Amino acid sequence: MSDDIDRRADGTSAGSSEDPRAAELLEFWETARVRAGEGKVGVVTGFGVSATVPPPAWSFGDNPELADGLLHAVLSGEKTATSSSHWEYDDETPVPAVGELSIILDGDGHPRALIRTTSVEILPFDQVDADFAAAEGEDDRTLEAWRAGHRDYFTRVLVGHEFRDDMPVVCERFELRFPRKR
């Protein structure tokens, strides 16, 4: 029904080894990056910071149930896109970039998936098309359902802005890198 809130704001990263969430994130990143084939060059040249520091970690939606449902859609291959309001981004939280990795958290904040952004386009809400709506993998995957669900979502979560049909939406496509679908 709805999608990202403060998409990059969670930004979980490596912290103190005494923090169980940080340790869990580091352990997930070590497994995911190797199995996804990230940092293969490090075997020859040595591992740099990018191979050892986890990418941003975040969850979909604005509540644990939604986060879990959308994560399930990613893991099943039904969800290969996500959208968020362009108004959520600023200098501290930049718009996603092609090639960027992200760790997706479940509704309890545990790392469950590694994705790579494959395309980013900023469009007015009313110009998002049926192909993108289907790629989001939500509801019945129609444009009508996407618009209704995201209108409700954006109306609920936007701070400092009101929903408009011409509001800028960040339309991001991604590929699941880990765990790999069987």
Question: Along the chain (182 residues), what's the average pLDDT of each consecutive run of 10 residues?
Answer: 44 55 94 86 49 88 95 97 95 94 97 98 98 96 97 94 97 95 62
What long-range pairs does 12-16 form, CB within 8 A, spacing at least 24? 12/54, 12/56, 12/57, 12/58, 12/103, 12/105, 12/109, 13/53, 13/54, 13/56, 13/57, 14/52, 14/53, 14/54
* Both tokens assigned to 139: 């509801």
Q: What is the pLDDT of residue 4?
A: 47
pTM, entire model: 0.83
Q: What is the pLDDT of residue 179?
A: 95
Q: Which of 104, 110, 107, 144 is nearest to 128 (CA)?
A: 144
Q: What is the pLDDT of residue 9?
A: 40
pLDDT in tens, 132-167: 999 999 999 999 999 999 999 999 999 999 999 999
Q: What is the pLDDT of residue 182?
A: 56
pLDDT in tens, 84-97: 999 999 999 999 99
Diameter over CA atoms, the chain? 52
